[in-house]
Chain A
Amino acid sequence: MSDAWGALREQLLATPMLAIALTLAAYFAGSWIFVRLGKPGWCPGILFAAMLLAATLALLGIDYTDYRAGASWLMLLLGPATVALGVPLYQQLPRIRAVWRPLLISLPPAAMLAAFYAVGLAWLLGATPEVLASLAPKSVTAPIAIGITEQLGGVIPLMMGGLLITGVVTTACVSLLARYLQLRDPRVLGFVLGVNGHVIGTVRAFELGPTAGAFASLGMSLTGIFSALFLPLAWRLVGL
């Protein structure tokens, strides 16, 4: 029985289709749970989807590297999807231009501190340099973060996991703070979500509305650009 399954699994894994089907199925199942729970702000749908996907892979006995090789076909679309963020950015340009100064003042300290807090805490708790390098780009959008992690000598899967947790915590934290402080300004909420929570925060911001989404896209791309320049330099200065 298990031999037959093993042979079938190998056959199905020969093309990327199984990985693509599993990813899409987990995504829709995760979104369904998310909607059934009333779209909770404290927990983005992607967390359910990622846990479902991991459980399915473990149950079916599919090796993560095999899965990832197939799913990389889906991840190819991440490039054009990032370019697509230029559209909401363009549509909100007048509102962004009106406040470019506060945005530009807030960004460098925000992006630096996002990395500094996490790396500092991990260092205090005795993490190895390899782990520190994987945590540093935790608020940077995936395609840029991969480049940064490679440059700093980190571990990509750990970095991607950090990205997931950071995005989830950012979404939860912004939702709670917004309710507690009675914040409704979509520009502020969107920018905070994008700077700290990269793609996951940006997805949440688009749920709040197109203005929040555009400010999140802007925050995400500025954080990415700034961190790509700043982190390798800081790493060299600290001598890690």
Chain B
Amino acid sequence: MPTLRGFLWLVILLLCGEALVWALALPVSPGVIGMLLLTLGLTLRGRAGSDIQAASQPLISMLAMLIMPGVVGIFFIADEFSSQWLAVAAALLFGTLASVATTLWLMLRFMPPETTNE
């Protein structure tokens, strides 16, 4: 039951996110707003209860599976964009290599060493 109780909280927060996105015409997805609301709520409460943890852990480990139905679409639209596959492949491959390198450089440049913590 703790899992279901936690799941109810997650869904309620998702609905709150949905309401806020609609009311304020935010360009962000309801899930992200819900996540921020959850972080805020837990901070105010001072601890993450066992219900919410029991529901969150399995869902987080399922994330990769949840996007599979969307991503397999790439294998079925390949024909449509076959004339541009080189541009798409190069952009994704080299674009990602470059952006990973840039982010890593930025982080190493600005991030203080771990010991400055606490």
Q: A161 with B71: in contact, given A87-B48, A125-B87, A221-B35 (CB under 8 Å)?
A: yes
Q: Is the CB of B92 within 8 A of A169?
A: yes
Interface window among A1-9, A35-43, A70-78: A70-78
Q: Is the CB of A53 within 8 A of B66?
A: no
A 1-39 binary contact with B (CB < 8 Å = 1; else 0): 000000000000000000100011011000000000000
| A95 to B: closest C-beta gap in Å | 6
Q: Is the CB of A81 within 8 A of B62?
A: yes
Which residues in chain A, 149-177, are within 8 Å of chain B measured between CB atoms?
Answer: 151, 155-158, 160-166, 169-170, 173-174, 177
Q: Is the CB of A67 within 8 A of B69?
A: yes
Q: A147 with B60: in contact, given A46-B68, A121-B90 (CB under 8 Å)?
A: no
| B75 to A: closest C-beta gap in Å | 4
Selected contact of B42 from candidates A27, A79, A86, CB within 8 Å: A86
Selected contact of A80 from candidates B11, B39, B68, B87, CB within 8 Å: B11
Chain A residues with Cβ under 8 A from B7's Cβ? 80
Chain B residues with Cβ under 8 A from A27's Cβ? 64-65, 68
Chain A residues with Cβ under 8 A from B39's Cβ? 86, 89-90, 93
| B56 to A: closest C-beta gap in Å | 4
Q: Is the CB of A126 within 8 A of B103?
A: no
Q: Is the CB of B35 within 8 A of A44?
A: no
Main secondary structure of the interface of B (DSSP, over half): helix
Q: Is the CB of A188 within 8 A of B107?
A: yes
Chain A interface, number of residues (Cβ within 8 angstroms): 109
Chain B residues with Cβ under 8 A from A162's Cβ? 74, 88, 92
Tell yes or no: A60 within 8 A of B by CB. no
Q: A156 to B77, alpha carbons, bound, how many Å?
A: 10
Residues of B within 8 A of A (CB): 7, 10-11, 13-14, 17, 27-32, 34-39, 41-43, 48, 52-53, 55-57, 59-77, 81, 84, 86-104, 106-108, 110-114, 116-118
Residues of A within 8 A of B (CB): 19, 23-24, 26-27, 44-46, 49-51, 53-54, 57-58, 64, 67-68, 71-72, 74-75, 77-91, 93-95, 98-99, 101-102, 105-106, 109-110, 113-114, 117-122, 125-128, 131, 135, 138-139, 141-144, 147-148, 151, 155-158, 160-166, 169-170, 173-174, 177, 181, 183, 185, 187-188, 191-192, 195-196, 199-200, 202-203, 206, 213, 217, 221, 224-225, 228-229, 232
